[in-house]
Amino acid sequence: RFILYDMDACFRKDNMFDYLLTGDQLKGNNVHTSTLVFRKLFSNAQFKELFYERFQELENSILNEGQLKDRLSEMSTRIESSIQLQVDRWHMPESFDAWNEKIDRMHSFLGRRGGIYKEEFEGIGLE
């Protein structure tokens, strides 16, 4: 099974397919050896279609915008009381207000996320 272990870029508008399907990277996290399995799987039309179908299932259920925004709100509320301690000790984020701004940007991204992924799927011939 495919294992995800590094999710810090989940709220950026990086094109996941450009990242994973590039086979000539010689350095960085997506070197050709680390993306080989994914690239080989995506060379199979049936796999691509099944991948897209599963994505749609998840997007229409547990990964839908409303549920993701609710979960983000729940999680940010849960850790909110610790943020000032984090700021005071590590200065990351720079302030409590900066943290709130980042949470707001994450909510905004979740509102645009479906359209972003739709464009990325269209870019590899899936719609």
**What letters, b where the CB count within 10 A reaches 16 and e where it falls short, cover 84-104?**
eeebeeeeeeeeeeebeeebe
Least confident of 4-13, 29-38, 48-57: 4-13
Q: Which H/E stretch holds residue 107?
A: helix 96-123
Any idea how long the chain is?
A: 127
- DSSP 8-state assignment for residue 8: T
Instruction: Give the pLDDT confidence score for residue 5 in this predicted structure.
Output: 66
* The pair of three-digit structure tokens given for residue 72, joined into one six-digit string: 């983000």
Instruction: Give the pLDDT confidence score for residue 2 in this predicted structure.
Output: 66
Which tens digit of pLDDT belongs to each residue from 97-124? 999 999 999 999 999 998 888 898 888 8
Reported pTM = 0.79
Ramachandran angles phi, psi of 84, nearest 5°: -65, -35
More confident residue, 56 or 1: 56
What percentage of residues in the chain have a pLDDT greater than 90?
Answer: 57
